[in-house]
Amino acid sequence: MLNYVLSRLLTFVPTFIGVTLISFAFIRVLPGDPIIVMAGERGLTEERYAELSEQFGFDRPIYAQFWDYLTGVLQGDLGNSFVTKRPVWDEFFSLFPATLELSICAMIFAVALGLPAGVIAAVNRGKFFDRALMSTALIGYSMPIFWWALLLIIVFSGNLQWTPVSGRIDLIYYFPDPTGFMLIDSLASGQTGAFASAVRHLVLPTIVLGTIPLAVIARQTRSAMLEVLGEDYIRTARAKGLSPGRINGVHALRNALIPVITVIGLSVGTLLAGAILTETIFSWPGIGKWMVDSIFRRDYPVVQGGLLLIAVMVMIVNLTVDMLYGVINPKIRKR
Amino acid sequence: MDDALAAKAATNEVRPGRLREFWFYFRENRGAVIGLWIFAIFAFLALFGTWLAPHDATAQFRSNTLQPPFWQEGGDWTFPLGTDPLGRDMLSRLIEGARYSFFVGIVVVSIAASGGILVGLIAGFAPKWLDTIIMRIMDIILAFPSLLLALVLVAILGPSLTNAMIAIAIVLQPHYVRLTRASVMSEKPKDYVISARVAGAGRLRQMFITVLPNCLAPIIVQAALSFSTAILDAAALGFLGMGAQPPTPEWGTMLAEAREFILRAWWVVTFPGLAILVTVLAINLMGDGLRDALDPKLKRS
């Protein structure tokens, strides 16, 4: 087991260096001189240019720059934003809870609906429920989520006036945010209506972000269940006279869960990509919107640092899923 | 001459056999056949839509801005699906948009698949160290969420439809590399490859003529699936303002332009998105059918 963990960790190192190299290269392959871009329309004097170029290390050889960058990254130094002048690291982690809260809610939504849908479809294979659920799942899987968001806004915010269009909470509420999770903070603040407002803001983005994972989980659960339902031990359980509910719910689902958990873990990347669109549409102040805004503002240190942090996060999650998979399924370890 | 004809006849006999077998399994899946029909209509509109569209896609009818579709009050048959905020005919723009999406799908899949197959074959046949380097590079690309990486690549290259296609192709390519390499790895120890090698087939002949045709089934399925991913991602980039630029009637760009009118004119938002959904759905249906028809494991059961 230890060997397995160590070998997985070892493959992490070259990938990490590669990811760092790509985000390092980003600022250097951009057309135009980053310092002139940063100076903007005002322009700058020769001395100031030399000073800045020294400050950013652009006057040094490229491998020395990369070494500085790599050691900086390992110490949590990703440079400062051109726009706000704050460290990229701090900005990332002050906005991250918003994205995390949205992603967790989306994932709960997806699992809570996707698992039962997959099980029901598998148990009723080929019948009406199966076809209806799987057609719906395929539609969800094919959904352009930015359009789906606009449709939900038209119906629930426009026509029915149930939900707000943007933000995390109504502006009339103000309270400290020790955790960064709006649901928890609004509840802890004790202000009447704050929690309800936070929930109302969260509903539509959760549905939009959860739609594709929901469809993927439903499809995956169905095929995993179908595979398991054909096994001998299910026949044995049936022969023993166990109730269908117990067979499907306990014997089959538990064994079908392994591939499903993998899919859930691996959809973190999908969630982050989806967060870019979802957060932009709902003005959700998280990482996705921050990245898009920074790309448009040409705030290169932010784009560079954000890209790196997001990639590292996806890598860590994938690595964890891989290892958990090894823990659950001993066959994988042996390879 | 006669020999050539006979050879042709012989291949003709073999070819339809395979195709017929494929069609037999594909036809079983009713959804896949429906998907194929929708895709055929989509392809037809993409190729001949310019002559079918009632109006010029960029012509602005200033007196008819935001006219609703014909079945609503204030709408008429001149503009069957209404007009957008600049008075352009929605139907014509949607038909014209099919061409862009089709083009995106074809170009992206061609670049990603040909590049990915080539690199995958090389990785499969290369010595261990080169194989490791190639696969690590693919891991690195896959570590970035695809849309984010495409977005950043477009930011570097400059926003346009061409650059969006290049970016999406780069992001999709690692999937082909992994798939091709995995198939090559499972085919390589088989007897027919060894016998080809013993018979003196060179490295290139082994790669492209002996092994590649036997690896194609999963790649074809992947091609269908990435066709729909390409359309979705290009539309998402267009929607974020990083893909096709206005006034191009690309579906995602149309949605971005229509965003501020969502509460006043539902049709400017609904139709372009519906077009994306129906196209992507049709391709995914086809992809499912292809997988069932080409996957030898499922054929037996």
CA proximity to A165, closest of B41, B260, B243, B106: B260
Cα gap B182→A17, rounded to integer Å:
25
B210: which 2 tokens? 């002996």
Predicted pLDDT at A287: 92
Q: Would you tell me the crossing angle of helices A128-141 and A194-229 to the nearest 10 degrees?
A: 120
Transcribe B140-155 into DSSP letters. HHHHS-HHHHHHHHHH
Boundaries of every domain in chain B: 40-49+82-298
- pLDDT of B281 above 90: yes
pLDDT tier, A331 (very low <50, low <70, confident <90, very high otherwise): low
Residue with tokens 């250097």: A28
Distances (CA, A) of B216 to A226, A237, B170: 27, 41, 20
Sign of torsion over alpha carbons B28, B29, B34, B38? negative
Cα gap A105→B299, rounded to integer Å:
40
Report whether B245 contacts B159 (CB < 8 A): yes
Predicted pLDDT at A209: 94
**B47 interface with A at CB cutoff 8 Å:** no
- pLDDT of B2 above 60: no
| Chain B residue whose CA is closest to A159 | B263
Q: Which residues pair with A87 in a beta bridge?
A: A80
| Chain B residue whose CA is closest to A160 | B263
CA proximity to A269, closest of A216, A314, A303, A205: A314
pTM: 0.86
Predicted pLDDT at A330: 63
Report whether B280 contacts A142 (CB < 8 A): yes
Residue with tokens 């995602």: B252
**A317 interface with B at CB cutoff 8 Å:** no
Q: Would the CB atoms of B277 and A307 count as touching at under 8 Å?
A: no
Query: Tens digit of pLDDT for each residue in B219-262?
Result: 988 898 899 999 999 999 999 988 888 888 889 999 988 888 88
- pLDDT of B147 above 70: yes
Q: H or E stretch including B284?
A: helix B266-294
Option in A135, A280, A311 nearest B143 (CB): A311
Predicted pLDDT at A218: 93
Option in B147, B156, B266 nearest A30 (CB): B156
Report whether A166 contacts A200 (CB < 8 A): no
Lowest mean pLDDT segment, chosen from A261-265, B100-104, B137-141: A261-265
Report whether B257 contacts B7 (CB < 8 A): no
CATH tag, B40-49+82-298: 1.10.3720.10
CA proximity to A320, closest of A275, A264, A270, A272: A264
Q: Which range in A62-66, A143-147, B72-76, B89-93 is most confidently predicted, on average pLDDT? A: A143-147
- pLDDT of A252 above 70: yes
Lowest mean pLDDT segment, chosen from B8-12, B59-63, B94-98, B261-265: B8-12
- pLDDT of B297 above 70: no
Report whether B124 contacts A292 (CB < 8 A): no
3-state secondary structure of A209: helix
**Residue A103 to chain B, least CA–CA distance (Å):** 14
- pLDDT of B299 above 50: no
Residues 6+ apart with CB under 8 A from A263: A216, A217, A220
Report whether A197 contacts A186 (CB < 8 A): yes
Residue with tokens 């990639």: A311
Q: Average of pLDDT values for A212-231? A: 89
Report whether B76 contacts B70 (CB < 8 A): yes
Lowest mean pLDDT segment, chosen from A30-39, A56-65, A258-267: A30-39
Chain A residues closer than 8 Å to B252 by CB: 144, 146
A303: which 2 tokens? 């784009």
3-state secondary structure of B202: coil
Give the torsion through C-alpha atoms of B201, B205, B211, B214, to 10 deg: -120
- pLDDT of B9 above 60: no
Chain B residues 205-264 with a CB less than 8 Å from chain A = 228, 232, 235-236, 239-242, 252, 255, 259, 262-263
**Burial category of A149 from C-beta neighbours within 10 Å (exposed 0-12, middle 13-18, buried 19 and up):** buried
Predicted pLDDT at B1: 44
Report whether B236 contacts A277 (CB < 8 A): yes
Cα gap B33→B90, rounded to integer Å:
29
Predicted pLDDT at B227: 93
Query: Tens digit of pLDDT for each residue in A274-320?
Result: 889 999 999 999 999 999 998 888 788 888 889 899 988 888 888 88
Report whether A197 contacts A162 (CB < 8 A): no
A195: which 2 tokens? 């929690």
Query: Tens digit of pLDDT for each residue in B79-138?
Result: 888 888 888 888 889 998 899 999 999 999 999 999 999 999 999 998 889 998 998 899
